[in-house]
Every structure is written in C-alpha cells, then in structure tokens.
Amino acid sequence: MTDNPSPGMSGPGEADNGAAQPQPWFPPSGEPGGYIPPPPPPPPSPGADQPGGQGQPGWYGQPGAQGQPGYPPPGGYPPPGGYPPPGSYPPPGGYPPPGGYPPPGGYGQPGGYGQQGGYGQPPGYGPRPYAPWPGQPQAPKPGVIPLRPLGVGEILDGAFTSIRRNPKATLGVAAVLLTFSAVITTAVSLILVHNLGSVTLPTPGQQLTNAEATRLLNRLLEVFVPVAILTAVLAFIVDTVLTGLLTVVIGRSVLGHKITAGEAWRIARPRLPALLGATLLIPLILLGLWVVYVLVLLILVAAGAPGGLVGAIAVLGAIAALVLTIWFAIMFRMAGPVVVLERDGPARSLARSWRLVQRSFWRVFGISLLAGLIVLVTAGVLQLPFTLIAGAAGGGNSLLPGTNGSLLGAVIIAIGGIVSGAVARPISAGVAVLLYVDLRMRREGLDLVLQTAAASGGVTTGDEFASLWRPGAQAAPMGQGAAPPAPPPPPAW
C-alpha cells in the first residue's frame, strides 16, 4: 500500500497533466478585505510506525490509510488561526471568489439593500424594512418660540415676533396708555406754568446773582416737583398695567393664540392689584438697602468716628449697596410674569422669582442687560427726530415742561416719547416673559406641558390657560386630545 499524498498537493503526474486540485483563494495581505493568514505547510507523509501510516489514524484533518479519522497534532488542538490545512474544512458554500470579502468599514454606506452605494442584496431577503435612524426631531413651534429651552437669539426674536404678529395688542395698547399718561402730565405742566409763570433758564455763560439763583431754584421746585411726582406715579401705574397686559398677550403667543386688547384687559384686570403690590415691593426693598447704608454712615458720624474710616466705609458701602441693588433687581425680575401667569400674590411671587433665577443669575443678568441696551438704543433712535424738530420749532429747551420753550415744542417732545415708549415697552416685557418661560422649561419641564397643550389645540379659556402655568402642571392624559409620543425608530441594520 502506498502513502496517500497530502491534501492539496499534486503528484508528479498530476502536475504534468494540469489536473491539480484547485487551491483555495486567500486575499493577499496588501489588498482590501479581511486578511486570512496562509496555512502552515502540511506535515510530512507518515511512516509505517507513525499515525497515518500502515493503517494508523492520521493527523488532524488528514485521514489515515484505512479511512480512520485523524488525531489532533501532538500538543493538542490547533491554536486559533492555525490548522486545518488547505482543503480540509472549507466554509459553508465554499470560499468566496476574489473580491468577495467586504471592504474595510463594512458593506457600503446606508442606503438600503440593492441600492447604489448601499448594502448588497443578501439572498433570501427582501427590501430593507427600516430606514436609518433619523436625526433629533425638531421641537414644535406653535407660536413665537420653539417649545424647548431657548437661546439668547430666540428670546429676542420671540419678543420682536410677538409685536409683529399682534401689533394692535402690543404697540396699540402701549400707545394708548402712554398717550393717556403724556396728556395728563402735559396738562398739569401747562396749568402750573399758567398759574405760576414759566421758568426762564439762564443762557450758557450767564452769571447769576445769589438772589437770582435762589429765585430760580424756588420756581423750579414749585413747577417741577409736582410734575415730577405726578410723572413718577403715572409712569408706575402705566408700566404696571402695561406689564400685565403684555404678559397676557405674549404668554398666549407662545402657544400661537392671538387675542385682542379687550380680551387681554379682561384676563389681566383681576391680577392688577397683586401686580401693583409686587411692583411696589421691589423698589421698597431696593430703597431699604440704601436706607441702611445711610443710617450706618450717620451712626458713625454721630459716634465721632475718624474721617478716614467714615470715608472708607462710605465708598465700600456704596459699592456693596450698588451690587446688592443689581442682585436683588435681577432676582425679582420674574415677579411680574409669576403674578399674571401663575396667579400668585405679591410676596409669594417675589419668593417664586428668587427660586427661578437662582443658579441662573448671570444668564438672566446678561440677557436683561442686552435687552436693556437694545431698548435704550431703539427708544433713543425713535426720540431723536422729534427732539430735533422740537428744538427747531420751540426755539429753546423744550425737554423740560414749563421752561422757556414753546408749547409746540413740548407737544412734539410728548409725541416722541409716546412713539419711542410704545415700541420699547413691548420689547422689554416680551424679553421678561420669554425669560420666565425659558427658566421654567429648563427647571420644571414646562416645554412638555406646553407641547401637550399645543397638540390638543383646545386650551383657549382663561382657567384652562392659567392651569398650564401653575407649578406642577402635568401633561394631559392620553385620549384627551394630546398626541401620543412617537415610538423610537428601530435600530438600523
């Protein structure tokens, strides 16, 4: 009996006749695809006294002479990536043809089976059942802002969009209230001037005697102190009422609801007393800081403290009082929207504003400062033409009512104040309301509640709308108009 040739080897006669067994294909190491290391050379033909010879079982994967199964080589089974020798155990379906291995990175780019640039069509499979995982869905935007935490640009854009979409309930309301205030202030100024006479201001470079300076000071106090007090009171009332009305209008615009000025008045009117109380508490608290500062200085002076110590404490105390004033003003900035939208009382609204702004002070401060600069520039640009016209028409200083400026100049100045205030006040109120909405979306998940309300489309009455803004409000349960959340798409192949 002759020894069997090793598998995959050709005898001399086979080499001459070209009938050698086909060799399995292995991709070379330098070409794309997974590299399979070449098999080790086959073991030598066994002798008569070795496995595989003369009826002995062969090596692993090499049958013996009598068809006995082969044994593993000495030392155990082959290590991973080693044996079997060529031709022993081809994979199911045979080896792939050249180029059949996948390129680095997998089978093409996502695009579906059988499509150009996509996955190859596997045998026995139909079209790809699922699309690739989509990007993050866009937040719904039923009104002037998307219902998600906002950026600075989105807050400012939302304030301007609220004015543009509902000008009658924003610009119109502001113009009416400011006109009412300007008419009263101008009428009182003219009455005082008619009864007491106008105040003639000195020309630049004119020297006044002590008697003239005293008389001028007394006339200024007689004319301007009542006008200043009346102006401050009217400005406080108008600003409070305007804040309440604009908060209602802009709060509704978040959900895309457009209301008239009459509807805004009916909704905001019950909240005006509480809003007046909260608006009055804030300046009283800020004024109290400076009262404490002045009292400390008076106590030091009365106690006979050294002048250097009093001066140092005065400077440091003024800086501390200014910092505390800014800090308290920012911490209480959300009190107005809380009173109107959440229907809280004055004291509770201040505490609620403090909790909302806490840990977000610098963000609220920066956005408020930026909005204040925008409002200041806008009001100045709108007021400038009226100031120039009034100066040309009045021939004097028409900025102060009751001075030697003409009546026409005073009227033009008042019209300019109405125009500039009608545009600037809604911007400031819109930024405050949208800042409040942003803080609640970041802290309390208000965006989910508003998304549910926007999907239902039925929140129009005052009580239903007010319930959305109360802390702890939950989304409407399924089956009551709220759209169920979309299930996540299945994973891609």
pLDDT band at 349 (very low <50, low <70, confident <90, very high): very high
Residue 404: name the closest of 413, 412, 394, 414 by CA: 394
**Residue 117 and residue 21: Cα distance in Å, rounded?**
37
Does the pLDDT at position 110 exceed 60?
no
**Residue 326 and residue 331: Cα distance in Å, rounded?**
9
Task: Output 464 or 327, whichever has higher pLDDT.
Answer: 327
User: Considering only 293-302, 395-404, 428-437, which range has the smallest mean pLDDT?
Assistant: 395-404
CB 251 within 8 A of CB 462: no
Task: Output 381 or 37, whichever has higher pLDDT.
Answer: 381
User: What percentage of the chain exceeds 70 in pLDDT?
Assistant: 60
- The pLDDT, as a whole number, for residue 96 is 55
Residue 68 in tokens:
């006995």
Q: What is the pLDDT of residues 367-380, one digit of tens each?
A: 999 999 999 999 99
pLDDT band at 414 (very low <50, low <70, confident <90, very high): confident
Q: What is the pLDDT of residues 430-467, one digit of tens each?
A: 999 999 999 999 998 888 888 888 887 655 555 667 77
- The pLDDT, as a whole number, for residue 226 is 80
- The pLDDT, as a whole number, for residue 332 is 95
- The pLDDT, as a whole number, for residue 437 is 94
Does the pLDDT at position 69 exceed 70?
no
Does the pLDDT at position 29 exceed 80?
no
Contacts of 63 (CB under 8 A, 6+ apart): 4, 52, 69, 70
Does the pLDDT at position 34 exceed 50?
no
- What average pLDDT is seen over the chain? 74
Does the pLDDT at position 240 exceed 60?
yes
Residue 175: name the closest of 426, 371, 432 by CA: 426
- The pLDDT, as a whole number, for residue 493 is 40
Does the pLDDT at position 64 exceed 60?
no
Residue 244: name the closest of 346, 336, 180 by CA: 336
Task: Output 102 or 488, whichever has higher pLDDT.
Answer: 102
Does the pLDDT at position 287 exceed 60?
yes
Does the pLDDT at position 200 exceed 80?
no
- The pLDDT, as a whole number, for residue 133 is 45
Does the pLDDT at position 294 exceed 90?
yes
Torsion angle of alpha carbons 407, 413, 418, 424, nearest 10°? -170
Does the pLDDT at position 260 exceed 70?
yes
Long-range contacts of 281-288 (CB under 8 A, 24+ apart): 281/346, 281/347, 281/350, 282/328, 282/329, 282/332, 282/335, 282/350, 285/328, 285/332, 286/325, 286/328, 286/329
- The pLDDT, as a whole number, for residue 319 is 95
Residue 379: name the closest of 142, 174, 186, 221 by CA: 174
**Residue 266 and residue 339: Cα distance in Å, rounded?**
15
User: Considering only 126-135, 266-275, 303-312, 331-340, which range has the smallest mean pLDDT?
Assistant: 126-135
- The pLDDT, as a whole number, for residue 217 is 79
**Residue 240 and residue 222: Cα distance in Å, rounded?**
28
Residue 479 in tokens:
């089956």
Does the pLDDT at position 17 exceed 60?
no
Task: Output 257 or 4, whichever has higher pLDDT.
Answer: 257
- The pLDDT, as a whole number, for residue 67 is 47
The residue behind tokens 């093409």 is 108
Segment 269-289 shows an average pLDDT of 93
**Residue 469 and residue 447: Cα distance in Å, rounded?**
11
